[in-house]
Amino acid sequence: MGRMGKIQKLRRNYRPPSALAFTAILQGTWEVLMTATTQGLTDGGLAGLIWPYIWTSLGSALSWPPWLRWHRWLHSTSGGQYHWVSEFAPPQYQKVMSYFIGWMSTLSWQAGTASEPFLVGTLIQACAIVMYPDYAPTNWQGTLMVIAVTIVVWFLNIWGSRAMPLIQNIMLVIHVFGFLIIVLWALAPRNTAKVTFTQFTNDGGWNSMGLSLMIGQISAIYGCIYAGITVPRAMAWSCILNGALGLVFLISYMFMMTDVDAALNDPTYYPHIWVSRQAVSPGGVVALNVIPTILIFAGTVSFNLSTSRQTWAFARDRGLPFSNWIGHVDRKLEVPSNAVTITCLTTTALSLINIGSDVAFNAIISLNIVSLMITCTFPIGCVLWRRWRHPELLPRSRWSLGRWGIPVNLCGFLYSIHTFFWCFWPNATPVDKTSFNWAVVMFVGVAIISMAYYFVRRRHVYRGPVVLVEGWKGQ
């Protein structure tokens, strides 16, 4: 932190095991694949979920931050991508590019944080539907559940932060041993291998199967996305663990999806609930649903913690309005309490979309992914520029890809652009105001506001984090 010109203000109490637990639960691959596959089943079907998951896993690995270049201090800041852009961008553009990516990174984390309380709240609502068939759920009731979950997360991340490493370790055990597909293997009816691996579906009304497949890959992408030497190692092992669990789960889950139309039309709006109904009683369905709900809630707490720290870091670097207030750290608790509050308020605001739109979740995860992909595109592109024009200025690294660096970075760059484009599309056609993917409006709106704010108020205040780094000379 000293080499980056920063003062350590936040508590760092995550050791290697708890760091692994934190990142594994944050990703929560099999839980997300279980609960967030509606678009993939609509636009792609059984095989349309499996094959995109494989190429998405590969593409995500190629655009994974460690491939940029590890060195001793680059990744020990909460700033993430906007810090990397600040370091690797051409000097004359580093400030404005870093500022833009700081806003896009904040947008990505905030949207991602909003998506998980949405899942938890509506999963609780789904349990009520299973147990009480006469219950007629409404969107506003689901939104109230999301807000209630957000309040609990707010409390835990401010006053329960000291206990988080222990809680995350317990959740990792549940994440591994609560692998629900074992129950479904034993009890649920199954498809043939031919149907599972070759049956594609185009229920979105698109004019070709290929187009439908590209649009439906958002389910696989959402399942694959998510300081010091501990975190890189934890990220690597959590990706391996979650990737393997996710692939086994997804293939098994698609074997048991014997009627896609019936699953998509389940009263709970969750296809995995329909699959569980084929295997166990209503009480058993609720019991099976509790485990992923608890794990996604744990991931929500982790996501909120990461998001609040990223938001705090950007405010600390004078990138946001009310930076002094957002960048405040409670001295007693050693947590960015105001940033946690802002994050929870943003989640609440985004949850209101659900009241007027049946595809609110799709809009939120689309916003999460497109803003994330733009934050991957810029730093990878800046590293490619450095490798090509000024390789002598690349920092000394702990390890390097050597001659494979440029091909790997180029593939990651192209994959990020590919994903960015397809995640703006709606679930189905024709499109009206309730089925429109509002992510494009929110993304463009934030991009315009952020740049207008930069030129009006922040260009003389924001300098970019790299100017504080020891030894940086603005080459």
Tell me the residue range of the domain where 297 lies: 16-459
Within 10 angstroms of residue 135's Cβ, the number of other Cβ atoms is: 12
* Stretch among 155-164, 201-210, 283-292 having the lowest mean pLDDT: 155-164
In a domain, 208, yes or no: yes
In a domain, 59, yes or no: yes
What's the N-to-C CA distance of the chain in angstroms?
22
Please give the pLDDT value at position 125.
92
pLDDT at 427 over 80: yes
Beta bridge pairs of residue 44: 201
Alpha-carbon gap, residue 343 to 308, rounded angstroms: 6
Residue 218: which pLDDT band, with cuts at 50, 70 and 90?
A: very high
pLDDT at 83 over 90: no
In a domain, 368, yes or no: yes
Give tens-digit pLDDT for 160-186. Answer: 877 777 777 777 777 777 766 777 888
Which amino acid is located at 80 in the chain?
G
For the question of whether the overall pTM of this predicted structure is more than 0.75, the answer is yes
In a domain, 468, yes or no: no
Closest CA to 121 of 138, 145, 147: 145
Within 10 angstroms of residue 17's Cβ, the number of other Cβ atoms is: 14
Which amino acid is located at 127 in the chain?
C
Please give the pLDDT value at position 66.
46
Residue in the block written with tokens 């209503």: 282
In a domain, 70, yes or no: yes
Please give the pLDDT value at position 425.
92
Which amino acid is located at 4 in the chain?
M
379: preceding bond cis by omega (within 30 degrees): no
In a domain, 10, yes or no: no
Sign of the CA dihedral with 36 first, then 39, 40, and 45 last: positive
Please give the pLDDT value at position 145.
93
Q: Look at the chain and report how many structural domains it folds into.
A: 1
- 223-229: average pLDDT: 59
Residue 75: which pLDDT band, with cuts at 50, 70 and 90?
A: very low
In a domain, 197, yes or no: yes
Torsion angle (degrees, nearest 10) of CA 57, 63, 68, 72: -50
**Phi/psi class of residue 334: alpha, beta or left (left: φ > 0; alpha: ψ in -120 to 50)?**
left
| Alpha helices (H) in 78-192, listed in sequence order | 81-88, 94-131, 139-159, 164-177, 181-187
Residue 468: which pLDDT band, with cuts at 50, 70 and 90?
A: low
Alpha-carbon gap, residue 452 to 460, rounded angstroms: 13
Residue 211: which pLDDT band, with cuts at 50, 70 and 90?
A: very high
Alpha-carbon gap, residue 306 to 301, rounded angstroms: 9
Please compute, for residue 225, the number of CA atoms within 13 A of its CA located in the half-sphere on the CB side: 26
- Helices 405-422, 47-62: axis angle to 10 degrees equals 130
Alpha-carbon gap, residue 412 to 61, rounded angstroms: 8
- 272-297: average pLDDT: 91
Within 10 angstroms of residue 275's Cβ, the number of other Cβ atoms is: 24
3-state DSSP assignment of residue 20: helix
Give tens-digit pLDDT for 125-164. Answer: 999 999 998 998 888 998 999 999 999 999 999 988 777 7
Residue 211 sits in a domain whose CATH number is 1.20.1740.10
* Stretch among 65-69, 122-126, 177-181, 209-213 having the lowest mean pLDDT: 65-69
In a domain, 469, yes or no: no
